[in-house]
Each structure stands twice: as structure tokens, then as C-alpha cells.
Amino acid sequence: MFRCLTEETNKDERKANKKLRKLSEEERVAIERQRAEELQMRRKQFEEEETRKEEYKQKKIQQRVERDRLKEISRKKENEQLWRQEQQKRLQEQQQRVQKAREEQNRRAEENHRAEEKRRVEEEMRLEEERRFEEMNRRNQVEKMRQLQYKQFLDNEINDLQLKYPSQTYRTCVLKLCKKYHPDKNPTADPEYIKILNTMK
């Protein structure tokens, strides 16, 4: 009957049962009823305690489930935020790479343009130098040809003078030509004649 109770409680029950044997039938029935009521009350208290424990346990489980659900929601939000930040960071890095590539392309285009402009200027300078050199050579050739013609012309005149005046020297003939082509006496004469005659003296 009292197997679910502790050993100390069973001892108390045995002592009470001994006392019951000494009492009358009515007293025993009253005590039995009282003990049954107490037992019923204790069972009811035990059941209520178990019910409260079960309710507390269910409440804790629900709280844990709700806490886990909130943690999961918070974790999902945090992961989503981190994913968005990562996407934004990747987008910024991509934009920076594109911007750097454009800047590098513009810089290379500018360098190529400068190099092309420099080559063009150098080519123009080289062509101009070649033109000047060719023009100078042409002028020198023309000047040499003209001096050669003048010298031949003067040599012919000196030869004519020497044939006309065989007794006069070469220097005398040159001096006569100097007087003939001097700018004071012959303003229309080419001054180059005087330069050549001076070298021929």
C-alpha cells in the first residue's frame, strides 16, 4: 500500500498500524479515512507538483525554442547583412578596378599621344634639318658654280688683256680688272668680281 513512500514513512505507518490494532472499530475507520484523505491529498499535491513541473518544463522548452528561433532569425539577418556588405564591397572593388583600368588606359593613351607628338616633332625637325641641309648644299653648289663661272669669265678677260698687252704682267692685268669692276666706277657690276679679283692678286 505504501510502496511508493520512503522507508522512514513506512516505519511511521507500521507504528501507526500497531496503534490502530489497539483502538476500537470506529476509531480505526476514522483514522483510516483520515489517512486515506491525507494520502489522497498528498497524491493530489504530488500530481499538482508533477503538473507544475511538466508545465515549467514545457514553458522552458518553449522559451528555449523561441530563443533558438530568435537566434536563428538574428543569425539569418546578420548573415544577410554580411552578405550584402560583402556584395557591396565586391562591387566597390570591381568599380575601383574598372576605374583604375580606365585611368591606366587614359594614362597609356596620353603617353602614346605624347610619344607620337614627340616623334612627329622630331620627324618634322629632322625633315626641316634635312631641308635646310639640302638648301645649304644647293646654295653652296650654286655659289660654287657661280664663282666658277665668274672666275672663268675673269680668267678669260685676263687672258684677253695679256694677249692684247703682252708686256704687262698678270698682276697688272688683275689690277686693271679691279679698276674696271670697282663699285665706284661700275655700280652695276657684281661685287663678287672684286672678291674673286682680290683672291687672284
The model's pLDDT over 117-135, given as tens digits with 9 standing for 90+, comes to 999 999 999 999 999 999 9
pLDDT at 165: 77
Amino acid at 158: I
Q: What is the mean pLDDT of the chain?
A: 83
pLDDT at 120: 92
Q: Could you give the CA distance from residue 84 to residue 76 in angstroms, rounded to a whole number? A: 12
pLDDT at 1: 44
Longest CA pairwise span in the chain (Å): 205
The model's pLDDT over 6-45, given as tens digits with 9 standing for 90+, comes to 666 667 777 766 666 666 677 777 878 888 888 889 899 9
> What radius of gyration do the chain's Cα atoms show?
69
118 three-state secondary structure = helix
Contact present, 145 and 153 (Cβ < 8 Å)? no
The model's pLDDT over 51-102, given as tens digits with 9 standing for 90+, comes to 999 999 999 999 999 999 999 999 999 999 999 999 999 999 999 999 999 9
Report CA 191 to chain centroid distance, whole Å.
73
